[in-house]
Amino acid sequence: MKRKELPKLIEEIRKLPYQEPVLKEYAEKLISLEISILSSEYPYELSNEEHFLDKVVIVLTHSYNRIVGSRFWGHLHVIPEDKHVHQMLSVVFKEEDPHFLSLRSDIRKEYNQIFSKPAGDVLRLIAERLGSLPQPLEENFEKWMVQEGSRLERMLWILILGKFMSRKGFLEHQNLKRITEVLDTFNPDTYKKLIIPYLQSNDFQNFKSELMKQLIGRLGDPRETTKKWRSVPGNAVKKVKSWLYKYDLFQFLDSERFKYWEKYVPNIKALNFEQNPPMAAMEFDRFVVLEFGNTGNAAYFYEVEGFNTYILPKFSITNVEGDLKDKEAHFYIHKLSHISNRGRPTWYNTFDDYMEHFMKGDFKYRKSSSGGWRR
């Protein structure tokens, strides 16, 4: 019956003039089966001519029944950007009783308002409302009757993540495991469009480890290769590197030293490690700080060019800490010990004094025993 009736209905509507009175008169003559076929088979394969779908909307609006409403709610999930579907649903939410789709009354009111707006705003408005609610998105999709796995759900994910990933507090309400699962389904270009605003709007100290581990998995470590990072702004890449430096130092240093060096992570230009003996070289603009993993060792400060030329190559060929402690080298700056008093790291203040001067390139600075400073 559908194969027989649908072409007949399409041809009849095509021949009608685009005049509302004529279309309404035609609609009054349709039987429920014909209305069901028209609403179920939308948007048809032969509907490219101008105003054809506009005429269908007028016909179905004037001959409306609940089957039309149910079918077009289903069409929204398959072709969510279709303006004629939006137009029909504006009729649906005006005509249907409060029990339509078994929606909660407050959500029904939200949909009534959303579908009263221009068709082009519908998806944006749904996304903005869902993204602003203080519950995980998958819970809100279920309450708002958004079908899991539908094209509508996918488009809403894109719109919501694109708008809200950069907003403070949004991720605090979300299931990060689910967020990463969804992000993993997008191609590289879409993925980067969604993650870049997050990187740019947050301090690296606040990055979520789940998102960062996924990011490194997809684009690679930017300290090693930037091939997949080419379209990511430089400031965002720098933040990712800082997050990686912080993560690596956290794994390497004891808590006392990590707490100190954490604040200098944004100034680190490169970070090199060696496991035997364990050591970390933190490179700043003009100098390098060499910290040893084994406690009881002082931190050594070297000028960056000399360190990279003479000390760094030794990392892979020596397992003796003393080979890396060269106070006679022309690029040697100073060494500082990690002195504590009754469990309190009193060395923090001393290191801060030296770091303040060394960051300015004042490598001859020495703190005097009287508490002042000398050169």
What's the pLDDT at 45? 73
**Does residue 375 register a pLDDT over 50?**
no
What's the pLDDT at 46? 59
| Helix/strand/coil for 358 | helix
What is the C-alpha to C-alpha distance for residues 231 and 370, in angstroms, rounded to an integer? 54
pLDDT in tens, 114-146: 999 988 899 999 999 999 999 999 999 999 999
pLDDT in tens, 279-308: 999 999 999 999 999 888 999 999 999 999
pLDDT in tens, 65-115: 999 999 999 999 999 999 999 999 999 999 998 889 999 999 999 999 999
What is the C-alpha to C-alpha distance for residues 121 and 86, in angstroms, rounded to an integer? 9
**Does residue 330 register a pLDDT over 70?**
yes
What's the pLDDT at 297? 93
Q: What is the DSSP string of 56-68?
A: HHHHHHHT--HHH
User: Which has the minimum average pLDDT: 25-34, 40-49, 218-227?
Assistant: 40-49
pLDDT in tens, 160-210: 999 999 998 999 999 999 999 999 999 999 999 999 999 999 999 999 999
What's the pLDDT at 316? 82
What is the C-alpha to C-alpha distance for residues 211 and 207, in angstroms, rounded to an integer? 8
**Does residue 31 register a pLDDT over 60?**
yes
**Does residue 373 register a pLDDT over 60?**
no
**What is the arithmetic mean of pLDDT over 313-340?**
92
**Does residue 2 register a pLDDT over 90?**
no
Q: Are 100 and 69 in contact (CB under 8 A)?
A: yes
How is residue 341 annotated by DSSP? B
Question: What is the overall mean pLDDT for the chain?
Answer: 93
Sheet arrangement for strand 299-303: 270-275, 278-283, 287-292, 299-303, 332-336
DSSP collapsed to 3 states, 281-327: EEECCCEEEEEECCCCCCEEEEEHHHHHHHHHHHHHCCCCHHHHCCC
What is the C-alpha to C-alpha distance for residues 65 and 292, in angstroms, rounded to an integer? 77
pLDDT confidence of 49, banded at 50, 70, 90?
Answer: confident
What's the pLDDT at 369? 61
**Does residue 324 register a pLDDT over 70?**
yes
Residue count of the chain: 375
Predicted structure pTM score:
0.84
Of the chain, the percentage scoring pLDDT greater than 90 comes to 84
